[in-house]
Homo-oligomer: A and B are copies of this chain.
Amino acid sequence: MQAGTKGTELVKFFFALSEPIRLEIIRALLSAKELCVCQIVQAFGLSQPKVSFHMRVLREADLVLWKRRGRWVYYRLNLENPMLRAVLPFIEEGMEVSKIQTTACEVGP
């Protein structure tokens, strides 16, 4: 996804979702209302900079929102994004039903 690309928004959107780790993070965020970086790090056994890198891609594609609370940074899906909403059913597909978020849940440190 080189710089100066036209139609960037759409390209960024698809690009962000075209990576297995990022898709898994999206799925995790679908199950948990929100997650801080350390939870994602632990859940997937990834390095922290790696997770931060991918979260940035997701952020810049407008797929997630973030908020700092104390020392932690929490990420959650940007469900206001209509494109995300359009593809979520396909991302959910194959997920265990039990893992799909139906109600808010307490998470995190």
Q: Which residues of chain A have a CB within 8 Å of any CB of chain B?
A: 1, 5-7, 10-11, 14-15, 17-20, 23, 82-83, 86-87, 89-91, 94
Contact = CB atoms under 8 A, between A and B. Distances in A.
A85 to B, nearest CB: 10
23 contacts: A1-B18, A1-B19, A5-B20, A6-B20, A7-B23, A7-B94, A10-B90, A10-B91, A11-B19, A11-B20, A14-B15, A14-B17, A14-B18, A14-B23, A15-B18, A17-B18, A18-B18, A83-B87, A83-B90, A86-B86, A86-B87, A86-B89, A87-B87
Nearest to A2: B20
Contacts of A23: 7, 10-11, 14
